């Protein structure tokens, strides 16, 4: 969704909630005033209070109705967010002043509390807004606290207790709403990410598939040419090497679209690592990188697709080598965890990864290298996940990176 659309939808939701708020506010306000101050005093003619003759008198209504045009103005201006605060602040201020005028310096029994205060509190989950919630709850408590303090009347305790209870209920609902909305947003995000990946994957796989055939004939003919005219020039090995590079990129792209089916069989982890190191040895030497391998304890055979795991370790060791432009040491260590998992850690002394890039690792095409593809980690991640395993990366900028691959030893221990 585009940002403008999101803003527009939020505005629409807020407008809807605010309209409902205004309706309920005025309906409850008018009904309450009519019943409490006109109906009751007339029914029980000697009791009751006629508010319009006391305190702020008609000014009270003037304010409450007078802010309505302001509300309309803010709607028109496209800023409905402010309206609820306009009402709560206005209400608290004039109701406090009103009560103080009536009760201060008299020994009248304090009788206050209005149904619209309940409307204010119960609207905080509807606005799904913590700031509004705290404004209302603290506002109400402070209002009654101040009135009680000024008129020295313990009666204010009753509305304070009621509003604290109501606020607690409102808070519980508000938190539930928020966490519900959060999980909904997360699920939506995840779905979008998966869809994006699926589309990229299918496209990439389709293109890769088309490239593969002409590429293999190109390689074949180049090899043939080299055999026929071995002494003409030295470009053939480079050409073949580059074609192989394209080929490996194309293969990565194909795993993106349709993950190859994994063929589990018992394999020896020592052999997998040894093979990986033999493939990457040349590049390591060129960069002045040495590799140290530690195998701890007797290592049981690993239930895995060894061809694919080799691909994972080639990717990870290549990344480690590429991060060390000035040479250094890579430590590869293999150990058994909890008797059920195999842990392979690859630790380099390279450039490390800056904090901002960490969330992007494993995203297709995310790379910081000029000739990188940004597919290595994503393919590796997919393969390890297919093995019910997990890759974790710890990195410290300028010091190095440790990549941990953990996979279940046997398929009977699938849970990790």
In the complex, the residues that contact ligand ADP under the rule CB under 6 A are 315, 319-320, 323, 348, 350-353, 361, 366-369, 372-378, 401
- Binding part of the chain for Mg ion, among 58-66, 286-294, 314-322, 357-365 by CB under 5 A, reads 314-322
Window contacting Mg ion (CB under 5 A); options: 3-11, 176-184, 284-292, 318-326? 318-326
For the bound state, the minimum distance from the C-beta of residue 208 to ligand ADP, rounded and expressed in Å, comes to 16
The token duo for 76 is 């028109």
Q: What secondary structure, in 3-state letters, does the chain show? A: CCHHHHHHHHHHHHHHHHHHHHHHHHHHHHHHHHHHHHHHHHHCCCCCCCHHHCCCCHHHHHHHHHHHHHHHHHHHCCCHHHHHHHHHHHHHHHHHHHHHHHHCCCCCCCCCCCHHHHHHHHCHHHHCCHHHHHHHHHHHHHHHHHHHHHHCCHHHHHHHHHHHHHHHHHHHHHHHHHHHHHHHHHHHHHHHHHHHHHHHHHHHHHHHHHHHHHHHHHHHHHHHHHHHCCCCCCHHHHHHHHHHHHHHHHHHHHHHHCCCCCCCEEECHHHHHHHHHHHHHHHHHHHCEEEEEEECCCCCCEEECHHHHHHHHHHHHHHHHHHCCCCEEEEEEEEEECCCEEEEEEECCCCCCCHHHHHHCCCCCCCCCCCCCCCHHHHHHHHHHHCCCEEEEEEECCCEEEEEEEEECCHHHCCC
Minimum distance, C-beta of residue 395 to ligand ADP, in the bound complex (Å): 6
Contact at 8 Å (CB) between 11 and 80? yes
Residue 28 interface partner, choices Mg ion, ligand ADP, none, CB cut-off 5-8 Å depending on type = none
Among 319, 381, 382, 395, binds Mg ion (CB under 5 A): 319
- Residue 373 interacts, among ligand ADP, Mg ion, none and using kind-specific CB cut-offs from 5 to 8 Å, with ligand ADP
User: In angstroms, what is the minimal distance from the CB of 350 to Mg ion?
Assistant: 12
Q: Minimum Å distance from CB 272 to ligand ADP?
A: 19
Q: Which does 401 bind (CB under 5 to 8 A by kind): Mg ion, ligand ADP, none?
A: ligand ADP
Name every residue whose Cβ is closer than 8 Å to that of residue 143 and which is 6 or more positions away in sequence: 92, 95, 96
Q: What does 361 interact with, of Mg ion, ligand ADP, none (CB < 5 to 8 A by kind)?
A: ligand ADP
Residue 255 within binding range of Mg ion, rule CB under 5 A: no
48 or 352: whose CB is closer to ligand ADP?
Answer: 352
167 touches Mg ion (CB under 5 A): no
Measured from the CB of residue 293, what is the shortest distance to ligand ADP in angstroms? 17
Is residue 376 part of the contact set for Mg ion (CB under 5 A)?
yes
Q: Min. distance of Cβ 8 from ligand ADP in angstroms?
A: 36
Q: How far is the CB of 408 from ligand ADP (least distance, A)?
A: 24
Smallest distance from the beta carbon of 176 to Mg ion, in angstroms? 44
Q: Which is nearer to ligand ADP, 237 or 288 (CB)?
A: 288
Q: Which is nearer to Mg ion, 255 or 319 (CB)?
A: 319
Q: How many Å apart are CA 116 and CA 91, to the nearest integer? A: 9
Q: Which one of Mg ion, ligand ADP, none is in contact with 351 (Cβ closer than 5 to 8 A by kind)?
A: ligand ADP
Q: Are 97 and 147 in contact (CB under 8 A)?
A: no
Contact between 201 and Mg ion per CB under 5 A: no
400 binds Mg ion, rule: CB under 5 A: no
Closer by beta carbon to Mg ion, 201 or else 376: 376
Interatomic CA distance for residues 33 and 52, integer angstroms: 10
For ligand ADP, give the closer residue by CB, 207 or 361. Answer: 361
Give the residue with the Cβ less far from ligand ADP, 223 or 357: 357
Question: In terms of CB distance, is 281 or 357 closer to ligand ADP?
Answer: 357
Whichever of 121 and 324 has its CB closer to ligand ADP, that residue is 324
Determine contact, residues 132/124, Cβ cutoff 8 Å. Answer: yes
- What residues contact 173, with CB distance under 8 A and at least 6 apart? 125
Is 362 among the residues that bind Mg ion (CB under 5 A)?
A: no
Nearer to ligand ADP by C-beta: 237 or 398? 398
For the CB of residue 406, give the shortest distance to ligand ADP in the complex, in Å.
Answer: 17
**Apex 362 CA angle, 361 and 367, nearest 5:** 60
Closest to ligand ADP by CB, 43 vs 358, is 358
Q: Which residues bind Mg ion (CB under 5 A)?
A: 319, 376
């Amino acid at each position: 969704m585009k940002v403008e659309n999101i803003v527009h939808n939020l505005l629409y939701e807020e407008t809807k909630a605010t309209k409902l708020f205004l309706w309920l506010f005025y309906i409850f306000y008018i009904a309450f005033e009519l019943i409490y101050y006109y109906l009751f005093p007339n029914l029980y003619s000697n009791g009751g209070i006629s508010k319009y003759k006391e305190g702020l008198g008609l000014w009270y209504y003037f304010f409450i109705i007078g802010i309505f045009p302001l509300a309309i103005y803010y709607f028109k201006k496209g800023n409905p967010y402010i309206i609820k605060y306009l009402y709560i602040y206005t209400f608290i201020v004039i109701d406090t002043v009103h009560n103080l005028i009536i009760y201060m310096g008299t020994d009248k029994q304090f009788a206050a509390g209005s149904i619209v205060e309940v409307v204010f509190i119960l609207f905080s989950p509807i606005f799904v807004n913590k700031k509004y919630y705290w404004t209302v709850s603290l506002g109400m408590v402070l209002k009654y606290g101040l009135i009680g303090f000024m008129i020295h009347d313990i009666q204010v305790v009753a509305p304070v207790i009621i509003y604290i209870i109501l606020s607690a209920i409102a808070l519980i609902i508000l938190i539930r709403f928020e966490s519900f909305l959060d999980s909904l947003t997360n699920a939506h995000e995840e779905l979008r990410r998966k869809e994006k990946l699926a589309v990229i994957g299918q496209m990439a796989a389709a293109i890769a598939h088309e490239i593969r055939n002409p590429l293999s004939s190109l390689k074949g003919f180049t090899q043939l040419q080299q055999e026929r005219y071995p002494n003409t020039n030295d470009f053939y090995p480079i050409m073949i090497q580059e074609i192989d590079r394209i080929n490996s990129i194309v293969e990565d792209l194909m795993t993106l679209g349709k993950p190859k089916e994994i063929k589990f069989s018992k394999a020896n982890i020592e052999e997998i690592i040894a093979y990986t190191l033999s493939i990457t040895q040349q590049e390591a030497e060129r960069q002045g990188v040495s590799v140290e391998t530690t195998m701890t304890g007797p290592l049981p055979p690993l239930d895995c697709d060894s061809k694919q795991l080799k691909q994972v370790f080639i990717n990870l060791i290549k990344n480690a080598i590429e991060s060390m432009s000035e040479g250094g040491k890579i430590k590869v260590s293999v150990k058994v965890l909890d008797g059920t998992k195999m842990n392979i850690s690859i630790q380099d002394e390279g450039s490390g990864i800056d904090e901002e890039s960490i969330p992007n690792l494993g995203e297709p095409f995310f790379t910081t290298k000029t000739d990188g593809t940004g597919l290595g980690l994503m393919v590796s991640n997919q393969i390890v996940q297919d093995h019910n395993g997990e890759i974790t990366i710890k990195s410290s900028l300028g010091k190095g990176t440790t990549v941990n691959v953990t996979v279940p030893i046997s398929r009977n221990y699938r849970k990790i």
